[in-house]
Amino acid sequence: MSNSSVDPSTLYVVATPIGNLADITARACAVLAGVNAILAEDTRVSATLLRHHGIATPVSALHQHNEARRGARIVERLAAGESLALISDAGTPGISDPGAHLVREVRAAGHAVVPIPGPSALTAVLSVAGIDGPVLFAGFLPARASARQASIKSFESARVAWVAYESPHRLEAFVADLVVSLEPTRPVIIARELTKRFESVVRLPVARLPEWLAADPNHARGEFVVVIEAPPIALDEGGQTAWSLLDVLLEELPLAQAVRLAQKVTGARRNDLYAYALQHQSARGAGAEDAAAVVSPDPDADPDAPQG
């Protein structure tokens, strides 16, 4: 393939499949085939992908243990006019994967760093989570129990939804920490083996997580993305809640518009606001015409409903 798809002295950060080898863009394949060399987290893992797509570009290892010391040589190669691609074992480099250090070093040397977007476990799980509002990304939490619990506490202080990655050998301990740290009814989404043969996405209240884990040994196998949904709305310093704002808006606006504005201002869950608005209208004797205009809440409204 011609090198017309790449520019000299450029580092391309290329997203690769997180499981299904077909989940790669045509542009990513063109870049991987066109660069002078590919920097891979594990050359054995990447060989399977490259062979599947008929890409014969030379590959060398760049991982967390050699990233810092290899940076200077990579910058020299870019300065000499080479184009290079950075990939990880799965997903997007630099997102809980090696790459961030190299990107900083290459940028500091004045060379271009170009993203080739594509698969990411983070965006994949959020696309099926039904989360409305801001989300924090925690990546892999610390392995040590005390540090992991402190991390959970720090993310909880933001009072928004947050996402963590977890490995199979630490999932049970992570779940135990969630059980002692969160309200029993707090909804959690566990996505396992995304895009692979045994992919599963379930949504459960925190209290049922240990039961789900114990129900099937396969539930603790694979790679995991865990979404902790935002906590219930609490009183703010002024003593006002999202409900108070919604009460005022419902006096002047149609239900759907009032809910939309209240969600935007407070960050509250849309389904919670809809449920409250329906109760509000019912108490005021709202007619069938008003009720029919309401968009039905998502299945997410039921903490026990599994998601596929």
Superfamily of domain 122-228: Tetrapyrrole methylase, C-terminal domain (3.30.950.10)
Place of tokens 């998601």: 307
| 240 pLDDT tier (thresholds 50, 70, 90) | low
Closest CA to 32 of 1, 63, 8: 1
pLDDT (average), residues 115-139: 94
297-308 pLDDT, tens digit per residue, is 333 333 333 333
Q: How far apart are the first and last CA of the chain?
A: 39
Q: What is the rounded CA–CA span in Å between residue 24 and residue 74? A: 25
pLDDT (average), residues 145-171: 92
Higher pLDDT, 89 or 295: 89
Lowest model confidence (mean pLDDT) among 227-231, 262-266, 273-277: 273-277
Q: Is 91 strand, coil or helix?
A: strand
The amino acid present at 209, given as its one-letter code, is L
165-219 pLDDT, tens digit per residue, is 999 999 999 999 999 999 898 999 999 999 999 999 999 999 999 999 999 999 9
Would 3-119 and 122-228 be classified into the same CATH topology? no
Q: Is 115 strand, coil or helix?
A: strand
Provide the CA 47 distance to its chain's centre, in angstroms.
Answer: 26
The domain limits of the chain are 3-119, 122-228, 242-296
Instruction: State pTM to two decimals.
Output: 0.75
Q: Is 49 left (phi over 0), alpha (psi -120 to 50) or beta?
A: alpha
Q: What is the rounded CA–CA span in Å between residue 105 and residue 111? A: 9
Lowest model confidence (mean pLDDT) among 51-60, 82-91, 257-266: 257-266
In CATH terms, 3-119 corresponds, of 3.90.1200.10, 3.40.1010.10, 3.20.20.150, 3.40.1160.10, to 3.40.1010.10
* Cβ contact 12:114 at 8 Å: yes
